[in-house]
A and B are shown apart, each in its own frame.
Chain A
Amino acid sequence: MPPPPDHPPHDQFLRLYAAHEVALHTFVRSMLPTREEASEVMQEVIVILWQKFSSVEDFRPWAFGVARIAALRHLERRKRDRHVFDNALVNRLADLALVQEPLHLSEREALDACLHKLPAAQRELVLTAYTKGTRMDDLATQRGQTPMALYKLLHRIRQALLDCVQRTLAQEEHP
């Protein structure tokens, strides 16, 4: 069986998608209430991007446009939910997320060090809580806590991480 020919568009798509995946996912997450919904929409986005991909030129603006439309369509299906933000705010958050993208990438890089500054038990807890398939009520039961007590602890850990990330970036800017 002869080896198949190379598929340059396939390779190009892979490289472009890989280069923008994190930023795209962050962008979609900024528009949607939960990360589960963001993951769901990202599945739609990658399929659309792959099906419609034809050119390397202007991949980034095109991909972000596709992602924005997919997120808005998703929200349209949830418009009766009063907890969902209106389109005006969602678009405002999306625009702001694009502006803040470099900061968000820096924050992600600083997060590693901040996670390691956490006490080991807290670090393990927060990462367990974010592992796919983890249910908060089950985790609370395992720990002998009420779900609300667990939620409050995670709240404090997240806030501590944000504070640490902010301090780290400030120190890098003004050592």
Chain B
Amino acid sequence: MNSHWHDLIQRHMAGLTIEDEAASLQELLKQDDNAARLYLRYTNLDLALESKASSMDATRELLTAPIISRSPRWTSWRPLTAAAAGIVFGMLCTSVVFGFVGQRQVEKKTPLAVVQPSFEDAQMPLAKGFPPAPSLWTGDVAKVVPAENGVTPKDGHHMLRMETTVYGKPVLFPRLYQIIALSPSGSERREIEVSASFASADPGSSPHYTVRAYAVNEAPERLGPDWFARHWFVQQDEAIASAETGFENPPGSTNWQSIGLRMQVPGKARCLVVFFGVKNQPKSQAKKPHYLDAVKVSFVESPSIP
């Protein structure tokens, strides 16, 4: 393959070819299979780099965003989100695998220890910001409450209320975090499922519910604000798997929406950072709070296929 092909293909993909060059490339791709394959390798690379950059951007947002974000970077979200309102979709990062179709009925789930998964303790402590230690809910202003505003807890008698205003100022992206320690595993990879239920007390809003998980090979005690504050490329090196999923709640719906993700986590992963967030659309800022309940994190074991 000569360098002219590389140059012509890349310039065409960058929109830099003149008409004659585009015509010349078209003839080349029609006549030469190797050139066509090279072209497709470049389109694949193009998309893979975009996906990689997007997942790093999401990671950067997860790790560095302020607690109360008054001007979130909406552009970092996939346009799919806006177009597919009301449709659950998976935002797949590089290490996410949803390879369980057809095996659901025989797989085994082993719950991981999540502190206060259904927020039944009204005195539950909630620290601000990123988790300073494992087994602790942290994040934005939130409170354990019983049924209120027409919303009944999904599990048990309580749920977590995520405030949409604090001291009169809107919270555009209320979020909660928890670090969960992972027991060592001899297996190369393990599958983890993270799910939660969200509801909104404001039928006029159309929030975007998000679940993210981020597996790292650092020991839980080494994580904390300092760890998160490090340069994001370093974090990416240390992060060994990440996944995200979201659901755009259609206006008018105050029902519980359960969303979840699955990810393949290398056996050497020491802990999992789980994140639950609600992104309010700026034009329909929720007047009433959102609620989180029924958080579940499990190892999933699928039987080997005979």
Interface size counted on chain A using CB atoms at 8 A: 67
Besides A111-B49, A158-B45, 13 more A-B contacts (Cβ < 8 Å) are: A14-B89, A18-B92, A25-B47, A29-B43, A46-B89, A83-B19, A85-B29, A100-B37, A104-B41, A107-B44, A130-B54, A132-B53, A132-B76
> Cβ of B65 < 8 Å from any Cβ of A?
no
Evaluate contact between B52 and A82: CB separation under 8 angstroms: no
Contacts of A93 in B (CB 8 A): 29, 36, 39-40
Q: How far does the Cβ of B177 sit from chain A's closest Cβ, in whole Å?
A: 24
Measured as residues with beta carbon below 8 angstroms from the partner, the interface class of chain B is 35 or more
> Cβ of A171 < 8 Å from any Cβ of B?
no
A30-38, A62-70, A71-79, A138-146 - the one binding chain B: A30-38
Evaluate contact between B80 and A39: CB separation under 8 angstroms: yes
A73 and B5 alpha carbons, distance in the complex (Å):
28
Evaluate contact between A131 and B233: CB separation under 8 angstroms: no
Given contact pairs A46-B87, A158-B45, A131 touches B57 in the complex (Cβ within 8 A): yes
Evaluate contact between A47 and B39: CB separation under 8 angstroms: no
A130 and B52 alpha carbons, distance in the complex (Å):
8
B108-116, B123-131, B138-146, B148-156 - the one binding chain A: B148-156
A99 and B256 alpha carbons, distance in the complex (Å):
42
Evaluate contact between A43 and B79: CB separation under 8 angstroms: yes
Contacts of B49 in A (CB 8 A): 111, 126-127, 130, 158, 161
Evaluate contact between B37 and A47: CB separation under 8 angstroms: no
Interface string of A11-36 (1 = CB under 8 A from B): 00111111101100110011001110
Q: How far does the Cβ of A49 sit from chain B's closest Cβ, in whole Å?
A: 9
Q: Indicate which residue in B13, B233, B256 contacts A3 across the interface (CB closer than 8 Å).
A: B256
A25 and B89 alpha carbons, distance in the complex (Å):
14
Contacts of A4 in B (CB 8 A): 255-256
Evaluate contact between A127 and B52: CB separation under 8 angstroms: yes
> Cβ of B229 < 8 Å from any Cβ of A?
no
Return the chain B residue nearest A128 by Cβ: B53
A143 and B52 alpha carbons, distance in the complex (Å):
22
> Cβ of B296 < 8 Å from any Cβ of A?
no
Evaluate contact between A10 and B88: CB separation under 8 angstroms: yes
21 interchain pairs (CB within 8 A)? Answer: A1-B254, A3-B256, A4-B255, A18-B92, A19-B101, A26-B43, A34-B13, A43-B83, A82-B22, A89-B30, A96-B33, A100-B37, A116-B237, A120-B233, A127-B52, A132-B78, A155-B6, A158-B42, A159-B6, A161-B49, A165-B45
